[in-house]
């Protein structure tokens, strides 16, 4: 295929010899409509060239030409055969830093061999691809069927900052999950009981991407806010509790059931949590402001989300509002699992029955003490 530039109307004169006479027939062939609105810009170590189809465009292909500004001749670099809604794009990856490039585009009619160039060319300077700062302080918070990833926002203070990108480490190749201009991201596709590995990069307004941050692992688990349980002496049928694999399963049960994980009992001056059969409670509770410090948490949020592996006891523990309690339980499969509760309200209902309102979390992955958060680690 031979490519060239034709800017003028071509008139073809054909001389036909007809029976018994000579005749001249003028056949006028129009050039294809010239590309319009040609523009180009540098982004992410490449040059994006885009244009619109001309009025009367009839599906002709487009030819992209380019050269270094210091060169005298253009070179054919690509053929574009498809456009979407009259908008066409070509990405030139064969560029070098600190070089200015010049481009034009022409419409090409394969049937007639005619070609119409754009009315002008465009120049683009390719800078040095200097990457932005790597995000630091990456942390994950396990949520119910989702994972919250957050990090230090220092990269956003750079004047050319554009966004952060979040990736999932996968055996078949890292997956790009999304882009955000804030230092936090929620993976809503993550499932309870499965572990996921994430990392973050930052991107500047020219598309330069930083090296990956440290990786962080997150294992989502069920949790529930505002569970209500009663003291066994006041309402025994609602005094027992069992950690569940999902927050839509009934966790409150009769305090005498053998499969309960704990029961609430009260005396004259105190309320206790009493472990069920095979269940152990960590003897030292920890004061917290929340069960978990997830999205939109206050800056001074304080939680306890990594269960101790050892040191548990079968003895009852005194319940106090605002404290988090850790439990080691045996799941339905006999494997060890960890859960936590945090009483937020301790008082009485309208009938004078003693109750506790609490939040809870349960790690369904056997042997995993992480109820979140988890700090990032090196790759």
Residue 229 and residue 281: Cα distance in Å, rounded?
Answer: 18
Quote the pLDDT of residue 332.
Answer: 82
Asked, for residue 374, whether it belongs to a domain, the answer is no
Beta carbons of 229 and 358 less than 8 angstroms apart: yes
Beta carbons of 203 and 156 less than 8 angstroms apart: no
Asked, for residue 354, whether it belongs to a domain, the answer is yes
Asked whether residue 205 falls in the same domain as residue 238, the answer is: no
In order, the DSSP letters of 279-331 are -EE-S--EE-S-S---TT--TT-----B--SS--BSS-EE--TTEEEEEEEE-
Quote the pLDDT of residue 28.
Answer: 59
Question: How many residues make up the chain in this entry?
Answer: 379
In order, the DSSP letters of 47-89 are EEEEEEPPTT--S-EEEEEEEETT-SS-EEEEEE---BTTEEE
Residues of the chain whose pLDDT is less than 70? 1-29, 378-379
Predicted TM-score (pTM) of the model is: 0.74
Asked whether residue 196 falls in the same domain as residue 260, the answer is: no
For the purposes of burial, counting CB atoms within 10 Å of the CB of 93, is it exposed (0-12), middle (13-18) or buried (19 or more)? Answer: exposed
CATH number of the domain residue 164 falls in: 2.60.40.10
Asked, for residue 356, whether it belongs to a domain, the answer is yes
Asked, for residue 371, whether it belongs to a domain, the answer is no
- Cβ neighbours around 96 below 10 Å, total: 9
Asked, for residue 233, whether it belongs to a domain, the answer is yes
* Structural domain total, the chain: 3
Tell me which of 184, 218, 252 is where a domain ends.
Answer: 218
Asked whether residue 66 falls in the same domain as residue 90, the answer is: yes
Asked, for residue 86, whether it belongs to a domain, the answer is yes
Give the residue numbers spanning the domain of 149: 139-218
Asked whether residue 314 falls in the same domain as residue 255, the answer is: yes
SS3 157: helix
CA distances from 354 to 26, 254, 257, 325, 351 (A): 103, 15, 20, 20, 9
Asked whether residue 195 falls in the same domain as residue 233, the answer is: no
Asked whether residue 175 falls in the same domain as residue 198, the answer is: yes
Asked whether residue 16 falls in the same domain as residue 87, the answer is: yes
């Amino acid at each position: 295929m031979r490519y060239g530039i034709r800017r003028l109307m071509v008139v073809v004169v054909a001389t036909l010899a007809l029976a018994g006479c000579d005749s001249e027939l003028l056949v006028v062939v129009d050039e294809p409509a010239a590309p319009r609105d040609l523009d180009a810009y540098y982004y992410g170590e490449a040059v994006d060239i885009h244009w619109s189809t001309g009025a009367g465009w009839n599906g002709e292909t487009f030819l992209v030409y380019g050269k270094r500004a210091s060169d005298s001749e253009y070179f054919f670099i690509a053929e574009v055969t498809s456009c979407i809604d009259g908008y066409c794009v070509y990405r030139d990856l064969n560029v070098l830093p600190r070089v200015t490039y010049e481009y034009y585009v022409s419409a090409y009619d394969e049937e007639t061999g005619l070609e119409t160039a754009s009315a002008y060319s465009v120049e683009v300077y390719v800078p040095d691809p200097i990457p932005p700062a790597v995000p630091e302080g990456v942390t994950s918070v396990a949520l119910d069927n989702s994972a919250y990833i957050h990090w230090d926002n220092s990269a956003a203070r750079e004047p050319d900052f554009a966004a952060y990108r979040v990736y999932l480490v996968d055996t078949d190749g890292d997956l790009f999950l999304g882009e955000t201009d804030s230092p936090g991201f929620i993976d809503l596709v993550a499932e309870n009981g499965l572990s996921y590995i994430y990392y973050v990069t930052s991107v500047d307004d020219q598309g330069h991407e930083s090296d990956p941050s440290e990786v962080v692992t997150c294992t989502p688990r069920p949790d529930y806010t505002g569970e209500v349980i009663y003291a066994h002496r006041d309402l025994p049928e609602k005094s027992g509790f069992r950690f569940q694999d999902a927050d839509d399963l009934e966790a409150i049960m009769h305090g005498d059931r053998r499969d309960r994980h704990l029961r609430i009992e009260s005396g004259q001056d105190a309320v206790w949590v009493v472990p069920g059969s095979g269940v152990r409670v960590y003897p030292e509770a920890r004061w917290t402001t929340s069960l978990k410090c997830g999205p939109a948490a206050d800056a001074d949020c304080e939680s306890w989300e990594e269960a101790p592996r050892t040191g548990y006891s079968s003895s009852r523990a005194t319940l106090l509002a605002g404290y988090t309690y850790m439990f080691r339980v045996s799941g339905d499969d006999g494997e060890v699992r960890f859960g936590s509760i945090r009483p937020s309200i301790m008082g009485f209902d309208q009938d004078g029955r003693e109750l506790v309102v609490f939040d809870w979390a349960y790690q369904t992955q056997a042997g995993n003490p992480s109820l979140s958060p988890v700090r990032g680690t090196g790759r």
